A = this chain, B = another copy of it.
Amino acid sequence: MSDYTAPIRDMQFVMRELADLDAVAGLPGCEEVSADLVDAILEEAGKFANGVLAPLNKIGDQEGAKWKDGEVTTAPGWIDAYRQFTEAGWTALASDPQYGGQGLPKLVSTAVMEMWKSANMAFSLCPMLTNGAIEALLLRGTDVQKDMYLPKMVSGEWTGTMNLTEPQAGSDLAAVRTRAEPQGDGTYKIFGQKIFITYGEHDLTDNIIHLVLARLPDAPEGVKGISLFVVPKFLVSADGSLGARNDVHCVSIEHKLGIHASPTCVLAFGDKGGAIGTLVGEANRGLEYMFIMMNEARFAVGMEGLALSERAYQHALQYAKDRVQGTEVGVRGGPKVNILHHPDVRRMLMSMKSQTEAMRALAYMVGAATDLAHLHPDDAVRAQNQAFVDLMIPVVKGWFTENSVDIASTGVQVHGGMGFIEETGAAQHLRDARITPIYEGTTAIQANDLIGRKIAREGGETIKGVIAGMRKVEAELGGVQDESFAAIRRTLGAGIEALEKAAGYIVATYGSDIKAAHVGSVPFLKLFGIVAGGWQMARAALVARRRLDEGSGDADFYRSKIVTARFYADHVLPQAHGLSYTVVNGAAGALALSEEAF
C-alpha cells in the first residue's frame, strides 16, 4: 500500500533542464561529475530508498523508538538499515573528501536527500543531524577535533546531534542557560538540560557526538554569550579508541504526533559531576556559528516538505487508481470507474502533483545556486548566487513545509474514510509533516528572516533581481501561441505584480513599522513561494514546449509537464492576489485588540 518509487524522471528533468547540471559539473572540484555518474547515483539511491528505507517507514511509525533506563532502542529493522546505509557510503555523499567524503555537488546530494526523506523521514533525520554536526566541526573545529571526530562521522560509524533548545528557550536562544566550566586543561564541564534532541540517544552506533550550546562563567547575557562545545557520549582517546562514558544521559523521549521512529530526547548534561567537552571555535560565538550552518539545516527541512508531499502524492495516486467507486459523472448507467475519473479527485491529485513539482524545481535551483556560490571562480557570480540562496532559504523552509501539511492532508482526503484509518498509512504522512513548519525555526521565524535580513536590510535589491528574472519568463511565455501558455502567462503575470507590490510594502514599512511588516510576513512568504513556484513551472513548460517542437525526448513527459504547469497557474497562482492584499492591508485588524480582549 505504502510503496515509494523515487521520481527519477522528474529529478533528471529538473537537474538537467532547469537547474543546469552541466554548469555545476563544470565548476572547479566537480570534474568527476557527469550526467552518467549522476544517473548512476540516482539509480542506486532510488533502489536503496525504495527497497530498504521505504518499507520500514510504517513499521517505524507503529513501533517507534523506545526508551528504557536511559537507553533508546530504535524500531525493528533500523540497525540493519543503518548498517547498509553506511556501508553503501551514503553518509559520505556530500562531505569533504579530506575526511572521507565524496564531495558531490549540492545539486546532486539534494536529489538523493529527497529520496531518503520521502522513503523514511524518521530515519533520514539521523544522517541529517550528523551532517549538521559535521558542518559545525568543519567550520570551526580545531585540527585535533576534526581528526578525532570527522572521519568516523563522515563514514557513519558515529552519529552527531545538535543541542540548542532548552525548556525555557525554544525559539529564543538568548535564554539558553546550560553552563560550561573551564577545567584549566582545555576541557570544560557542561551542566544543563537540553530538549528536543533528535537522535540524542540510540542503538545504531557505539558513539554519539553532541554539539552543545552553553554559557561560559564570564559570558555576557543574551545571544552574545553563547559558546559551542563538542561533547561525545563516550570520550575518545588519542588513538581513536573509546574511553569512559561521558556524563550525558537521555532521561526521556517525547511521545509525538509523528516521526515516531526518530527519538526526540531530553538530554541531561552533568548530573554526575559534569559532562566533558571541548570548545569549538572561539568563546561566545556559538550562535554565530549556528547561523552560518542554518542555511544548510533549513534547506534540509524544506526538503522534508517536498519529500513528504511526493510520498503523500504517490500514496494517494495509487489509491485513486485502485479504488473503484461510482460511475463517471454525466454518464448515466455507465460502468463503475476508479475514483481518478471523478473531477474533484483529479483536482486534488493535480494540486498535490503540481505543487510538488514546483517545489522540486525551486529546491534544485537553490541547490545548484549553492554550488555556484561555493565553487564558481568569479567573485561576482558567487556573490550573486549566495544572495539568491540566502533569499530563497526561508521560502524553501517555510513554504515547502506549510505546503506539505496541506498536501498530506489532501492525501488523506483522497482516501475518503480509509484515510482516517491508521493502517492505510496516509495519515502518517500528515502526522510526520506537521513538525516540519515548526522545527529548525517556525514559519514565522523564516518569514521574519525573509522580510528583515533578506529583503528590507538591503532595500529589496536581491528580490528585485529575482522579480526581473520572473518578468523575462513571463515575456517568453508571450512568444508561444497556445492557450495553455496564455493561461500560464496571465496568472504568472498577475502573481509577479502582486509579489512586487507586497515586496514594495515590506521595504517601505519595515523600518517605520516593524510590527505591521511582521503581521504580513507569513502571508508574504507564502506569496513569494507561490509565485516562485509558478516561475519555475513556467520555465519547465517553456523547456517542454521547445523539446516538443524539436521532436526530441519523451513527448508524453513534456506534454504532462505543460498540463501540470497550467494547472498550477489556474489553481495555485491565483492565490497571490489575496495574499498580497493581506500583506499590504492586514496589520490594523491583527494588532488592534488588547490582550484582555482575547
Contacts and interface: CB of A to CB of B under 8 A. Distances in A.
Interface of A: 165, 170-172, 174-175, 196, 254-258, 317, 321, 325-326, 329-330, 336, 338, 340, 342-347, 349-350, 353, 405, 409, 412-413, 416-423, 427, 430-431, 434-435, 437-439, 442-444, 447-448, 483-484, 487, 491, 514-516, 518-519, 521-523, 556, 559-560, 563-564, 566-571, 574-579, 581-582, 585-593, 595-598
Contacts of A571: 523, 582, 586, 589-590
Contact of A255 (B413, B421, B592): B421
6 contacts: A338-B595, A343-B516, A413-B438, A570-B586, A570-B590, A577-B577
A514 B340 CA distance: 16
Given A171-B416, A444-B345, A581-B491, A588 B574 contact: no
Contacts of A576: 578
A597 B560 contact: yes
B417 A439 contact: yes
Contacts of A577: 574, 577-578
Contacts of A559: 597
Contact of A420 (B257, B518, B582): B257
Contacts of A343: 515-516, 518-519, 521, 587, 590-591
Contact of A347 (B421, B522, B570): B522
Given A343-B518, A346-B519, A569-B589, A420 B435 contact: yes
Contacts of A347: 519, 522, 586, 590
A196 B417 contact: yes
A393 to B, nearest CB: 18
Contacts of A570: 581-582, 585-586, 588-590
B420 A590 contact: no
A330 B515 contact: yes
Contact of A447 (B344, B560, B587): B344
A229 B518 CA distance: 59
Contacts of A442: 413, 416
A577 B573 CA distance: 11
Interface centre among A340, A443, A571, by most B CB within 10 Å? A571
Contacts of A587: 343
A484 B592 CA distance: 11
B438 A165 contact: no
Contacts of A515: 329-330, 343
Contacts of A593: 346, 350, 560, 563-564
A331 to B, nearest CB: 10
A570 to B, nearest CB: 5
Contacts of A556: 596-597
A391 to B, nearest CB: 20
Contacts of A419: 434, 438
A409 B422 contact: no
A174 to B, nearest CB: 8
Contact of A321 (B196, B447, B589, B595): B595
A344 B452 CA distance: 14
Nearest to A491: B581
Contacts of A521: 343-344
A420 B434 contact: yes
B417 A170 contact: yes
Contacts of A170: 325, 416-418
A340 B340 CA distance: 44
Contacts of A514: 329-330
A598 B579 CA distance: 30
A589 B563 contact: yes
A110 to B, nearest CB: 25
A336 B560 CA distance: 53
